[in-house]
Every structure is written in C-alpha cells, then in structure tokens.
C-alpha cells in the first residue's frame, strides 16, 4: 500500500467536499499511479490544473507518484492570462518584469527584442508591474497571488532558453521577435541611427549596433 499527500490551491478546492478543502488529503493506492490518476480519483479535473509540484519540484501530470510523495496542485491563473485578453496576434509589444532568479531568461528575452526588467526584489516587482503594466514572469505561484498583480505567467520550464520559448509560445509572440533590437545590458532599444560604430570598436566585426544609453556595442 502506497500513500501520498495531496493539497489543492484556490478554486481547485471547489471540486472537493468541505472537509477536504485547503488541507492535506491522504490518498492510498496499490500498484502504479501517476499524478493525474490520483488527482482525478478524488474528483478534481486535471484540465483545470496549470501546475503541480511533487515534493516541491514542478512535474508533469503523468509523473509516477511514489509512496510518501507530496503533491501540490495549482489552477490556471485565468485572471492573469493575457492571451484571453488579446487572442491571436498581439497588438503591441508586451513588457515583462522577472522574478529574481530569472536573470538568464531576462537577457534571453532582451536578445529577442522584448522590453524586460529583472533583478528587483519582490516588492519592487509588484510595484513596477502595476505602474508600467508589465507581465510578471515567475516560477513561484505565491508571487502571482498578490492581489495587486493582474498579469503574470507561471513558468513551467527550468532552463532560460526553454522558458523564453514557453513565453513566446504561450503569449503567441512569434511575430514580435526582433533579435538584437534591444540592449542586453540596460534594456534600451537599439536605434538604427546607432548603427555606426563608435571610436575604438574594431572594424573587422562588420555591422554594429551601439546602445545610446550605456554605449555597449553588439
């Protein structure tokens, strides 16, 4: 006999009887079960789940559950999903602000031309997201639970390149990617008028774009 602990968050609790809501639920089984099977066995539709953590690690719903595992299940953050506001091709460039541990993703998104801020603490992230209508990107559901936050994406991927693909795909930004349109150091758009290399830049490198703000050349 195996036993795991399940915990559901937010509106996923609507599917549970009152005595099981917002608390640990022990589930027992014999044989092999994946997370999806265990979750659906207690009446929560897997389709409403955006993310599960098994022992704290983001995991696919098909992951095999082992004796003693702890599963946390989070719903789709529907109020945060900008694709529902602007289906199809976005009308304007989205602006991002990233959770502290996503520096590499920040540079990758800038490399793709997206207006991206990173390196701020949580309080500043929420403040700037609200003030500048920026979309928060994070791996931590708790950041998106702040009541002031209106636009955010809970990332599933762990590596920066895969995360960048995930963002572009989920927000349907394919047509807006503009490689090397933005300074990787300071987020300033690289103007075409800045194509002429400054003194000191070696001519063999061909064509440059230099940042008018910080002087960094690419």
Closest CB to Zn ion among 50 and 185? 185
How far is it, in rounded angstroms, from Cα 131 to Cα 82?
A: 17
What residues between 159 and 218 interact with Zn ion by CB under 5 A?
Answer: 183, 185-186, 188, 211, 213-214, 216
Q: How far is the CB of 191 from Zn ion (least distance, A)?
A: 11
Closest CB to Zn ion among 71 and 112? 112
Closest CB to Zn ion among 129 and 190? 190
Q: How far is the CB of 217 from Zn ion (least distance, A)?
A: 10
What residues between 52 and 81 interact with Zn ion by CB under 5 A?
Answer: none
Q: How far is the CB of 216 from Zn ion (least distance, A)?
A: 5
Structure tokens at 152: 């955010």
Q: How far is the CB of 182 from Zn ion (least distance, A)?
A: 9
Closest CB to Zn ion among 104 and 216? 216
How far is it, in rounded angstroms, from Cα 84 to Cα 82?
A: 5
Closest CB to Zn ion among 10 and 212? 212
Q: How far is the CB of 187 from Zn ion (least distance, A)?
A: 7
Closest CB to Zn ion among 38 and 109? 109
Q: How far is the CB of 206 from Zn ion (least distance, A)?
A: 20
DSSP string, the chain: -EEEEEEE-GGGGGGS-GGGTTS-EEEEESS--BHHHHHHHTT--GGGEEEEEETTEEE-TTPBP-TT-EEEEEE--GGG-GGGTS-SS-SS--EEEE-TT-HHHHHHHHHTT-EEE-S--HHHHHHHHHHHTPEEEES-HHHHTSTT--SEEE----SHHHHHHHHHHHTT-GGG--TT-B-TTT--B--GGG-SPPTTS-GGG----B-TTT--B-
The site that binds Zn ion (CB under 5 A) totals a number of residues, namely 8
Residues near Zn ion (CB under 5 A): 183, 185-186, 188, 211, 213-214, 216
């Amino acid at each position: 006999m195996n036993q795991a602990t399940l915990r559901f968050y937010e509106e996923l609790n609507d599917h549970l009887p009152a005595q099981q809501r917002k608390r640990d639920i022990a589930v027992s089984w014999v044989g092999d079960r994946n997370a999806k099977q265990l979750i659906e066995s207690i009446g929560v539709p897997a389709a409403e789940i955006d993310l599960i953590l098994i022992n704290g690690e983001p995991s696919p719903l098909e992951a095999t559950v082992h004796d003693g595992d702890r599963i946390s299940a989070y719903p789709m953050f529907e109020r945060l999903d900008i694709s529902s506001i602007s289906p199809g091709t976005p009308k304007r460039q989205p602006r991002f602000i990233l959770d502290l541990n996503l520096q590499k993703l920040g540079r990758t998104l800038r490399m793709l031309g997206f207006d991206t801020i990173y390196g701020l603490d949580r309080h500043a992230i929420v403040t700037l997201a609200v003030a500048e209508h920026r979309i928060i990107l994070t791996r931590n559901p708790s950041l998106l639970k702040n009541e002031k936050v209106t636009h955010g994406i809970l990332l599933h991927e762990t590596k920066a390149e895969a995360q960048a693909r995930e963002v572009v795909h989920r927000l349907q930004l394919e047509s807006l990617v503009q490689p090397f349109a933005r300074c990787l150091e300071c987020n300033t758009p690289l103007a075409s008028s800045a194509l002429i290399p400054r003194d000191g830049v070696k001519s063999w490198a061909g064509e440059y774009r230099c940042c008018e703000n910080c002087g960094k050349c690419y």
